[in-house]
Amino acid sequence: MSDRITINDNIKKKLNADCGNCFGLCCVALPYAKSADFPNDKDGGTPCSNLQSDYRCGIHQNLRNEGYKGCTVYECFGAGQKVSQFTYKGKDWRDNPSLAKEMFDVFPIMQQLHEMLSYLSEALHRDESKPIYRDIQAVLEKTEEHTHLPPQSILTLDVHAHRAVVNEILLRMSELVRSKAPVKKQKKIGRGIELLGANLRGADLRGSNLRGAFLIAANLQNADLRLSDFIGADLRDADLSGADLTGSIFLTQAQINAAKGDQNTKLPSSLKTPFHWTN
C-alpha cells in the first residue's frame, strides 16, 4: 500500500495547475465563442485580451462578474506547466514565435493525457482497485510515457486509441466502485442520459452510472450521489445544494465549479467548495 500511495502522490503533484510556471497557454491556444460563458469571440492561437505580460490573468479574481465563467470551469490538469517547462524547456511563445503554433497544438493533446492521468491516479488510490491494481498501474505508466515524448511525437500520437485503452480500465474500476451501492428499484439512470433541468431533488442515485450525463440545470438538491461515476458528466448550473457526493468517482473540480451548491453539499475530500457557493 505504501508504494501505491507514493506513486499516486508523485503523480498527483504534477496534475494540479501551476499558472506561475505556464505561458498562459489556455488563454492563448484555446478558442471560445460569445455565449453565457464568454463575453466575446476569440480564435485559437490569439491571446485573450486579459492576458498580461507575465502570463497572468488581469481579471482572475473577477472572472465571473466580467462574463468569463467558462474560464472558471476549465481545468488543464497541469498540462500547461508540463508543456511550458518540460516539453519546451522554458522557451516561451513570445520570445520564440517560431514555436508558437506547434506549442499551441501540443497543449490540448497534453491536456487530454493529463486528464487521463488524473482519472487513473484516482483509480489507483482507491481501495476498490486492488483486483485490477497492476492493470491500472501499467496503463498509467504508459500514459505518463506519452507525456514525455518530444513535440513532434505528441502531435502524431493516436490519442483516440489510447483513450480507448484508458476508458476500458476506468470502466472496470467504475463497476467495482458502483457495485458497493445497494441495488435499487427505480427509474434507470445510466450513461449519457439527458437530464437537462430534471427534478431529481432528494433522489437516491447511489452507484449511478452518470458518465457523459447531461445534468445541465438539473435539480439535485439533497440527492444521494454516493459511489456514482461522474466522468464526463455536464453539471453546468446543476443545483447540488445539500447533495451527498462522498465516495463518488471521477468527479473533477471543474465540474463542481460549474455547478451550484451550498455549505451542506458533501464533496469528496479531494475537492474544494467553490468560492461562488458561499458568496
DSSP strands (E only) in the chain = none
What would the pLDDT profile of 176-216 be if each residue is shown by its tens digit?
999 999 876 444 566 667 889 999 999 999 999 999 999 99
- The DSSP symbol for 227 reads T
- pLDDT of 27 reads 97
Provide CATH code, domain 184-279. 2.160.20.80
The mean-pLDDT minimum among 12-21, 88-97, 106-115, 123-132 falls in: 12-21
Contact in structure between 226 and 244 (CB atoms under 8 Å):
yes
Give the number of other CB atoms < 10 A from CB of residue 162.
17
- pLDDT of 56 reads 94
- Mapped onto helix, strand or coil, the DSSP state of residue 52 is coil
Instruction: Cell numbers for 200, please give them.
Output: 431529481
Answer yes or no: is pLDDT of 17 > 60. Answer: yes
- The DSSP symbol for 143 reads H
The mean-pLDDT minimum among 9-23, 56-70, 230-244 falls in: 9-23
Half-sphere exposure of 127 (CA within 13 A, CB side): 3
CATH 2.160.20.80 maps onto the chain at 184-279
The Cα 100–Cα 105 span in angstroms is 9
Mean pLDDT of 214-242: 96
Return the CA Rg of the chain. Answer: 19
Contact in structure between 81 and 17 (CB atoms under 8 Å):
yes
pTM to 2 decimals? Answer: 0.91
The Cα 73–Cα 143 span in angstroms is 24
Distance of CA 97 to the CA centre of its chain: 29
- pLDDT of 177 reads 97
Answer yes or no: is pLDDT of 84 > 70. Answer: yes
What would the pLDDT profile of 254-278 be if each residue is shown by its tens digit?
999 999 999 999 999 999 999 889 7
The mean predicted confidence, pLDDT, of the chain is 92
Type of residue numbered 213: A
The Cα 71–Cα 69 span in angstroms is 5
- Mapped onto helix, strand or coil, the DSSP state of residue 148 is coil
